[in-house]
Chains A and B, each alone.
Chain A
């Protein structure tokens, strides 16, 4: 059977079980778009900017637990994907990004819309390819999907010269991928797992610290079972939210720069930390010398480079989080059936859990909602109540992101979708579209700020055109709030370039795109506006005019110990 490169591309994407891709056409990929138009199984969502395509694919991957796919043209189409690719790279999200390229004969000639995207994205992809021979196209795509989703996942880019996708060739089903240089280690060392069981047995003040790796390996059930079996409180990084039920009594809240008091104090005082799927980012650890000073640290990660990178650990385990945690549970079960008394943790955790309860009681997350001005935290709390914690929440970056993380309690994994590592403003709206495309039956809400929503506002048109209904909650404080907060605290309130007083009318803006717009200015109306907006059909912007100078607390100043928090 003879197929063109473009047809092979579509066939291979479908073979991976992907039903929706996000993209934007251009001269170099016009053959692919022609082929897309002539088939009906693979849905293409036309975005309004290539960055949006990659963020949408990123969120699609997370919500769907599969691989996200973006398709763009050469030159500027390709360079516009870089932010999205870098974000997916830092968050370890499986993506395959197809970029058009000038015909092979013109490569290197500074042709129109030519850019060396393979060179540009080398440091921010897991791997990338320039396909120079159409015979290798199918196997390259198969390999790219394999790399994207296996081991520590990540984005893979394939650069496709125009002549490659236009050429018909005999299609041969590619073989199973086998790479001599790439064999991720899923199976943890059993001796190490046994050591963890002993450490748990000896520990008086243990904590589980779950990260994005737990979500990626779908290990939240194992985390939850381990926590409940051994009575261990759980905290998570921003990327790990949802790995453990946010409504469970053993939940400590998020850890780090804007972590809860009890989570940060627990890390400061624990004698055992079981860290799963985390990379000890500086936003989590603060001053590394003072991070978990009295703890023995167990670190489970599929990527050996994550271990001993930022922090020395006493019990490293290279392997899949789910397999490792299941192994620990199994060993614990075997050992406790031999000697039930020494594996009954309920009694000896009391002192530790009481201490944590005291931290929680004396220093909870707090804000005061008066009768005049809306507090942003109040909006998120009401959003949580009205959606019963069931919505998929995407966020922009900054204060809106932190309040969403603090006040929306995620009971399930894959429900909080945020640009954690790179911190991309403009992520939330295209991400909401991607998540909704993956999960059409779910309510998807983008929690946004007035600054960041303007960074990819054009994607409103994508949502309207593709009838992908998303709800957007804008916490409008007329500032780039997080930077303003730093300026308030550390730069003598010199609010340099952070005022966003000049902003569009978001209600009219929504209407201009064909969406619905609601504005709320009074605390008493928050619940009714949210309730009305969430119930409306179609895409809705709900703008909440909130306190201009509300800050996110607790806050650990950059470089400080995480137990030394500014509380108000």
Chain B
């Protein structure tokens, strides 16, 4: 059956072991986590987990229900079919050969990225945007010799009028 990507925004109690409960639920029931991002919120004792998971449509219902069943999970919001803003952050370290430097700077400019570290032989580029933007810039930079990438998972919030 066809699998889709789902974007879940989960509010949880900020307590030790909560991430382990969620990770354990996914591994124990054979669900997949594609990316995960966890941080505190404006409310004390509450954290937000933003998760991308890939699965079949009927499995996502079970995932959402199982997540909600965890005592430390407060809300599970499926943003997939809603209007939302989504960002992920990446640092890309790339070979900066003299003949390529101008090309790299042009790509950085087009994608509105930043160069955050400059060395004799490489640049480190900071990229912020949705996952398509990340895929696109990586595709362009790849031929020039990406040395390494560090990337966060997606974070997302529903827009003011969240319904599509």
Contacts and interface: CB of A to CB of B under 8 A. Distances in A.
Interface of A: 118-119, 122-123, 126-127, 130, 147, 179-182, 303-305, 308-309
Contacts of B25: 123
A126 B71 contact: yes
A305 B65 contact: yes
A122 B65 CA distance: 18
Interface string B41-78: 00000000000000000100110011011011110000
A118 B21 CA distance: 11
B74 A181 contact: yes
Contacts of B13: 181
A417 to B, nearest CB: 26
Given A181-B13, A305-B65, A308-B61, A122 B21 contact: yes
Nearest to B27: A123
Interface-central residue, B25, B66, B71, B73, by most chain A CB under 10 Å = B71
A119 B20 contact: yes
Given A304-B65, A305-B66, 14 more contacts: A118-B17, A119-B17, A179-B71, A180-B74, A181-B13, A181-B71, A181-B74, A303-B69, A304-B68, A304-B69, A305-B62, A305-B69, A308-B58, A309-B62
A127 B71 CA distance: 7
Interface of B: 12-13, 16-17, 20-21, 24-25, 28, 58, 61-62, 65-66, 68-69, 71-74
B20 A147 contact: no
A127 B24 CA distance: 13
Nearest to A304: B65
B71 A122 contact: no
Contacts of A304: 65, 68-69
B73 A181 contact: yes
Interface-central residue, A118, A179, A182, A303, by most chain B CB under 10 Å = A182
A119 to B, nearest CB: 7
Nearest to B23: A122
A95 B72 CA distance: 19
A119 B19 CA distance: 12
B62 A181 contact: no
Nearest to A126: B71
B66 to A, nearest CB: 5
Contacts of B68: 304
Contacts of B72: 181
10 contacts: A122-B20, A122-B24, A123-B28, A126-B71, A181-B13, A181-B72, A181-B73, A305-B69, A308-B58, A309-B62
Given A305-B62, A308-B58, A308-B61, A182 B71 contact: yes
Nearest to A318: B65
Contacts of B21: 122
A180 B11 CA distance: 11
A308 B25 CA distance: 18
Contacts of A119: 17, 20
A42 to B, nearest CB: 27
B17 A308 contact: no
B24 A123 contact: yes
B64 to A, nearest CB: 9
A78 to B, nearest CB: 16
Contacts of A180: 74
Nearest to A308: B61
A147 B74 contact: no
Contacts of B58: 308
Contacts of B17: 118-119, 122
Q: Which 3 A-B pairs have the closest CB atoms?
A: A181-B74, A127-B71, A305-B65
